[in-house]
Amino acid sequence: MSALLQVTDVTKTFAGIVALDGVNLEVEVGERVGLIGPNGAGKTTFFNAMMGVIPADTGRVELGGVDLSDRPVHERARAGIGRTFQRTELFTDSTVRDHLLVAERVRRGHGRFWKDVLGLGRPTDDEVAQCDQVLELLGLRSLAAEPIERLSLGQCRLVEVGRALMTEPTLLLLDEPSSGLDRSETAALAQTLRDVQDEQGFAILLVEHDVELVADFTTRTYVLDFGRVLTEGPTHDVLNSPEVRAAYLGTMEPTG
């Protein structure tokens, strides 16, 4: 059986500097996979290349057997890749619920122009209910009508997760979700994610600095260094391998 996400031989060069050098990566259905690496290892570049934000020089990105390599960002999103952002990317002047509503409308794909013209474009009760269900799941239900500017960073990250979930992704990419959060906030976020994932069954690819979160959250991990996959395997083994600890973790105590 082939993997849900199959990234094959992705290479990206910036003005002669090889940022990604033949990266291969797989994520199975419903799996939680980590991607770690020191600063400048190419994590973000990989992320962007996979989403189509920057065009890769070579390589294939397949999701569920469908080749997405030449598709623009929004089509990859529609194909089932949801994502969050390291520096939160939110819709200013919108409420929490608005963030989810617009995603829900796009997913349903019935935002026809003529409906807007006739004044039938407002959110339906059904859509609102759908959004509120996800907000409930994330513990944001009581903040639904709040403007996004009033939320804490931790809550904003959850809104991003909720927005991504509205697209009903088969794969959720989390880009350093712990950055800017303290330990307890990170733990809470991880717990929420795990609960939601149990319910909905999507796979997660976690790009993270926080080794503890990776150890705690993922079952398998890739280590990226200088644009190459240094090693890959069960998280516990990877984090304890001498190679990885030398290259990246320094003197850190074994974990997980």
Partner 1 sequence: MHVLAASALEDLFRAFLQGLPPGTVYALFALGFVLTYKTSGVFNLAFGAQAYVSAAMFFKAREQWGWEIPPALVLSVFILAPLVGLLLEGVIFRHLRTAGDLPKLVVTIGLAVALPNLFNVLASFEPTPGVTPAGIVPDGATVFYDPFGVYPFSRDELVAVAVAVVAMTALAGLFRFTAIGLRMRAVVESPRMTELNGIPADRISAVAWMLSSFFAGIAGVLIAPRFNTLAPGDFFGLMVIAIAAASVGKLASLPGALVGGLGLGVFIAEANTFLPRWAESSSWLEPLQDNLTPAIPFMVLFGILVLVPGIRRAKAATDPLAGVDPPPPSIGMVERSRRDVLLSRVAGTVFVVGVLAIVLTQGDQVWVFRITEAVALATIFLSITVITGLGGQISLCQGAFAATGAFAVFQLVDRYDMGAIPAALVGAVIAAALGALLSLPVRRLGGVWVAIATLAFAYFFDSVVLQLPFVGGGDTSLFQGTAVPRPVVGPWDLGSDKSFLVFAVVVLAIVAVLVVNLRSGTLGKTLLAIRGSEVAAQSVGISPGRARLVAFAVSAFIAAIGGSLMAMHQENVNYGNNFEPFLAVFWLVLVAVLGVRTVSGAIQGAVAFTLFDPLILKGELLGWILRSPESVPGVFPIVSTWVFILFGFGAIQFARHPQGILEYQLHRRAVKAAEKRDGPGPGPPDGSSTGAEVDERTEEPVG
Lookup: tokens for 89:
């990317």
166 binds partner 1 (CB under 8 A): yes
Give the Cα separation of 196 and 172 in Å (integer): 11
Distance CA 67, CA 119 (A): 38
Binding mask 59-78 for partner 1 (x = CB under 8 A): -------------xxxx-xx
Q: Does 111 bind partner 1 (CB under 8 A)?
A: yes
Within residues 214-253, the interface with partner 1 by CB under 8 A covers none
* Residue 94 binds to partner 1 (criterion: CB under 8 A): yes
Name which position in 14, 58, 70, 115 contacts partner 1 (CB under 8 A): 115
Do residues 165 and 200 make contact, with C-beta atoms less than 8 angstroms apart? yes
Name the segment binding partner 1 (CB under 8 A); options: 138-146, 195-203, 228-236, 238-246.
Answer: 138-146
Determine if 86 is a binding residue for partner 1 (CB under 8 A).
Answer: no
CA angle, 209 then 69 then 43, to 5° = 10
Query: Could you tell me the smallest distance in angstroms from the CB atom of residue 175 to partner 1?
Result: 10
DSSP per-residue letters across 193-212:
HHHHHHHH--EEEEE-S-HH
Which residues contact residue 80 at a Cβ distance below 8 angstroms, ignoring those fewer than 6 apart?
A: 63, 64, 167, 168, 169, 170, 171
Residues that bind partner 1 (CB under 8 A): 51, 53, 72-75, 77-78, 82-83, 85, 89-95, 98-99, 101-103, 105-107, 111-113, 115-122, 141-147, 149-152, 155, 160, 163-164, 166-167
